[in-house]
A and B are shown apart, each in its own frame.
Chain A
Amino acid sequence: MNGLPEVTTGGGEPGSLRLVATLSLAGLLSGLIIVLAFETTLPTITAYKARMLREAVFNVLPSVTSLKRLVYRNGKLVETEDEQKGDQAIFSGYDQNGRLVGYAIPGAGPGFQDTIRLLYGYLPAERKVSGMEILESRETPGLGDKIYKDESFVSGFRSLAVDPEIRAVKKGKRTAANEIDAITGATISSKAVVRIINEANRQWLPRLEAAQPTVTGD
């Protein structure tokens, strides 16, 4: 509490050992604190993410009242709630009569700034996308963030044909069922969303067709 303008460490230059020891100790303590904070907050964060994911399922699939979690393992779709690391999971949604409505498929890919994670609904009977929700993105505020803030862009995914593949076109130039109006000023972000869905489609649609041949029938 002497309020000296200069810090004094008590005479002479400290040896290198002291310097190394100080930094090591600081690093060690810092590491411990960070691990502690990480471990404490992790359950809340993962629980929140899982809850948001499930809530999103109801937003991207119309009139769904219950859902099941499907995991792709050894070339087969398995229904399981048991979460494992590296699971490739999707959700199947059912209406109140227990009939399959469609699938909610998560996708991720590079956006304008960072990875965009999203979830979209797919109706196998109509081969259409039935809705899209952005789960995580760091797109430019005011421009790229319109991929979830701009209602007209989001609603464009409510009924969108997936064949041959989804295309983002200039605003107002939409002519076909597989085209969506890109956001003016956020073309890269719009195209990123479309590319993520197309890639997930290429990965999942063959699997779904192989697993559920009866669904497309009626």
Chain B
Amino acid sequence: MSRRKEDPHAEFIKGLWRDNPVFVQVLGMCPMLAVTNSAINALAMGGATFFVLVASSFLVSSLRQWIPRQVRISTYIIIIATFVTVTDFTLEALAPVVHKELGAFIPLIVANCMILGRQEAFASRNSVRLAVVDALGMASGFLFALFTLGAVREILGEGALFGVSLFGPDFEPWVIMILPPGGFLTLGLLLLFFSWLRERKQRLAIRLEELEAEPK
């Protein structure tokens, strides 16, 4: 994990897939579980987080020479909180309906540990370019995860996607899926799926090594 060579492509893919903040690092669970009861909410939340993370990473990385180590966390929080507040106002002005749906969860992005984590672990020690690429990757990974969860829950819990009914009026929605337990259930199954994928890949790699090492 500690490659120090600048490889923007790898940094992006890392966030989107290999170190996906939700499915692999299991970070930012609070908004994850709370707002993914429909695909559109998940997308809006993902979008807001996307903007905050990329903007914060950019600023933190640009200012990394001037922020004293002792007060770095407080400074990061100030930066993140500023972007979150701006996002909150902008969303309320531009998309009041979505803003109404998301309610308290937009202000709560401040407390998303994934965002603070990226500042401390990456943006504060890497060039602006890499920090932005890393943020783009992580934010896309978060968006992807939120959307997957939101879509699964909306399809099963309401029989619809983006509010468009999929199975007709005879479908009995699994109400539990859009309630909090449904979030845990779906997340658990998705985590299981991603662990299985990872393990399978490792097993394959080992098999391949064994085959190559085998004498003729």
Contact = CB atoms under 8 A, between A and B. Distances in A.
Interface of A: 1, 3-7, 9, 13-14, 18-19, 22-23, 26-27, 29-30, 33-34, 37-38, 40-41, 44-45, 48, 52, 113-114, 136, 138, 141-143
Interface string B81-116: 110011001101110100011011000000000000
B199 interface: no
Contacts of B38: 141
Contact of B125 (A5, A23, A26, A30): A5
Given A23-B74, A26-B75, A3 B127 contact: yes
Interface stretch (B21-29, B63-71, B184-192): B63-71
B140 interface: no
Interface residue range, chain B:
35 or more
Given A4-B125, A48-B93, A52-B96, 18 more contacts: A3-B6, A5-B125, A6-B125, A7-B125, A14-B70, A19-B70, A19-B71, A26-B79, A29-B82, A30-B79, A37-B90, A40-B93, A41-B89, A45-B89, A45-B93, A45-B96, A113-B103, A142-B179
B216 interface: no
A48 B91 CA distance: 13
B174 to A, nearest CB: 11
Contacts of A18: 68
A3 B85 contact: no
Contact of B157 (A1, A5, A113, A142): A142
Nearest to B64: A7
Nearest to B157: A142
Contact of A142 (B6, B71, B79, B175): B175
Given A1-B127, A44-B93, A48-B96, A22 B4 contact: no
Contacts of A40: 89, 93
A34 B85 contact: yes
Contact of B67 (A22, A52, A142): A22
Contacts of A23: 71, 74-75, 78
Contacts of B66: 22
A22 B64 CA distance: 12
B20 interface: no
Contacts of A136: 100
A22 B65 CA distance: 12
Contacts of B81: 30
Interface string B42-69: 0000000000000000000000111111
A29 B78 CA distance: 10
B132 interface: no
B178 interface: yes
Contacts of A3: 4, 6, 125-127, 130
A48 B99 CA distance: 13
B85 A37 contact: yes
A22 B82 contact: no
A19 B68 contact: yes
A41 to B, nearest CB: 4
Contacts of A142: 37, 157, 175, 178-179
